[in-house]
Copies of this chain bind each other. A is one copy, B any other.
Amino acid sequence: MSLVRVHNFSISLDGYATGDGQTMEAPFGHAGMRLMEWFGGTKTFRTMSGREGGSLGVENGLASAWGPGIGAEIMGRNKFGPQRGPWTDEEWRGWWGDNPPFHTPVFVLTHHPRPSIEMEGGTTFHFIDASPEEALRQARKAAGDLDVRIGGGPTVVREFLAGDLIDYLHLAVVPIVLGRGVRLWDGLEGLEERFVVESTTAPSGVTHLTFSRR
């Protein structure tokens, strides 16, 4: 059975995975890029975004588990773009450039389905209005024997956790207090009982936790 995995998912100390006020220019709202700074410097991220260099080391080690063995991703609509409601601009093809870093089918959860978009490099965005269970069924079919990654944002990860659909969660807790935005944790009382939890702190001050299904 293929696994369902979340990688490099960053939250603030107060549990926000994105800030308030997402716009085209500010995908994480008032949080800016602060939640992703630890990731931005890694070799994994730089390779993913077509650049050279980047750090090796503990955080890159954790970050690099993101790609191998993944056959499809499921993401929330606001990881694709900032629009709410009916699509008004179908020309714009998301935040991820012509050659997105996913290189697999990507299922974008939205209440407003639209035709699929085939990008360069193997990424195809499918826009589906589906429950977590149904989205996972479609993603598993697309992934074949490979695993499915839940790409975020926080609402999607929370729903999949609440539905007990996630086998592995790598969480990066960044030592900042965002104060507002979208929280991961609401309604997940007792989550730890289903997982073996490990944690390690990196010199960046970020604490990395892994939740592996028992």
Chain A residues packing against B (C-beta within 8 Å): 13-15, 173, 175-180, 185-192, 197-201, 205, 207, 209
* CB atoms of A189 and B199 under 8 A apart: no
Residue from A177, A186, A191, A192 having most chain B Cβ neighbours under 10 A: A177
A36→B73 CA distance, assembly (Å) = 39
Query: Hey, which chain B residues are within 8 Å of A191, CB to CB?
Result: 177
Q: How far in angstroms is the closest Cβ of chain B from A109?
A: 23
A15 contact from B15, B190, B205, B209, Cβ within 8 A: B15
Could you list 17 examples of A-B contacts with CB < 8 Å? A13-B173, A13-B185, A13-B192, A14-B188, A15-B185, A176-B190, A176-B192, A177-B185, A177-B189, A177-B190, A179-B185, A179-B188, A179-B189, A179-B190, A197-B205, A199-B201, A199-B205
Question: Would you give the shortest CB distance from A56 to chain B, in whole angstroms?
Answer: 21
Separation in Å of the A86 CB from the closest CB of chain B?
33
Q: Which residues of B contact A185 (CB under 8 A)?
A: 13-15, 177, 179
Closest CB-CB distance, A52 to chain B, in whole Å?
A: 31
Inter-chain CA distance A191–B209, complex, in Å, is 22
Which of B179, B189, B192, B209 makes the CB contact (< 8 A) with A187? B179
